[in-house]
Amino acid sequence: MNLQNRLEYILFIGLSYFTKLLGLKLSRTFAKGLACVFYFIIPIRKEVAIKNLKMAFPDYSEKKIRKIAIETYKSFAITLIETLYIPHIGNSDMINSLRCINLDLISRKIKEKKGIIILTAHFGNWEYLAASLALQLDFPMYLLIKVQRNPYVTAFMDRARTKWSNIVIPLGTSVRQIFKALNENQMVLMAADQRGNVEGIRIKFLGIMSAVYSGPAVFALKTGADIVISISVRQPDYSYKVEFMELSFDDIPGNNDAKVEEICRRYLNFLEDLIRQYPEQWLWMHKRWKH
């Protein structure tokens, strides 16, 4: 297993330097070709993606489902290649990669000295969102991150994620660190779009009753932190656009469990609208409806 990890890491590093040699523009073209390999020739999670799409869009034709599926692979490959390029990208290019419609919303909240949960999703390029946002605000974020199976790849990703002063919090041993950061009026970025625990709450998402990750709602209620939904959308020129939206706590129920459920529902409703507009930019290759 150690040898496998090392070989995977060598491939990972090799791809990173390959993107440096090509430059970002040509690397994105290469990414599209790579996506076709892993969709048509060496299919990885292809059937999972197609099954998910059919569940979410039962009225779509087989042709339309498969068109979205291949575009999803291209989108993810571009995100991967862009992430591998992070060690080689300069500050100004990273800043310009993300167009923020109303960044002043977060700037005001920083001045209010309250904890802020930046609630995102595996959509567009979530890695560029975190990096560019920290640069534009000149205010680092804590990033709640799932640890990869390969420790060498995890170390590479952590170096990329902390290049502009962001701080990584590994998922699993993170509760105390998150509470500490929010109580000290820091920003914590979390993604809450993937499958929740089997015993957790369930909410209708894309027409399907879905296990939901409720962590952001729980942290917000316990610390008094605000939640700002921040999801990047890839544009035709390969830049990203994000429009920040404060998640309203108005008219939520008095019972704590009901509050958590309603906060999760409001986030998922926002995400669902984006997915329906840009289905190819969401990560369909995980077993979102496994239980």
Find the mean pLDDT for residues 182-200.
94
Element (H, E) at 193: none
Find the mean pLDDT for residues 34-38.
96
Tell me if 78 is assigned to some domain: yes
Tell me if 288 is assigned to some domain: no
Say what the pLDDT of residue 146 is: 87
pLDDT band at 39 (very low <50, low <70, confident <90, very high): very high
> Number of folded domains in the chain?
1
Find the mean pLDDT for residues 224-238.
98
Backbone angles phi and psi of 100, in degrees to 5: -100, 125
Tell me if 266 is assigned to some domain: yes
Instruction: Give yes or no for residue 115 having a pLDDT over 90.
Output: yes
Matching residue, tokens 């990096």: 131
CA–CA gap between residue 120 and residue 98 (Å, rounded): 14
Which residue would you say has higher pLDDT here, 72 or 194? 72
Across 246-255, b (16+ Cβ under 10 Å) vs e yields: ebeeeebeee
Find the mean pLDDT for residues 229-242.
98
CA–CA gap between residue 36 and residue 43 (Å, rounded): 9
Judge residue 177's burial from the number of C-beta atoms within 10 Å of its C-beta, 0-12 exposed, 13-18 middle, 19 or more buried.
middle
pLDDT in tens, 48-85: 999 999 999 999 999 999 999 999 999 999 999 999 99
* Token pair of 182 as six digits: 């929010």
Tell me if 290 is assigned to some domain: no
Tell me if 289 is assigned to some domain: no
Say what the pLDDT of residue 1 is: 61
Beta bridge partners of 191: 120
pLDDT band at 203 (very low <50, low <70, confident <90, very high): very high
pLDDT in tens, 134-177: 999 999 999 999 888 899 999 999 999 999 999 999 987 678 99
Tell me if 95 is assigned to some domain: yes
pLDDT band at 204 (very low <50, low <70, confident <90, very high): very high
What separation in angstroms does the CA of 21 have from each of 13, 24, 25, 128, 269?
Answer: 13, 9, 11, 20, 41
What range defines the domain where residue 190 resides? 2-281
Tell me if 183 is assigned to some domain: yes
Asked if 81 and 20 count as a contact pair (C-beta separation under 8 A), the reply is no
Tell me if 286 is assigned to some domain: no
Backbone angles phi and psi of 122, in degrees to 5: -80, 80
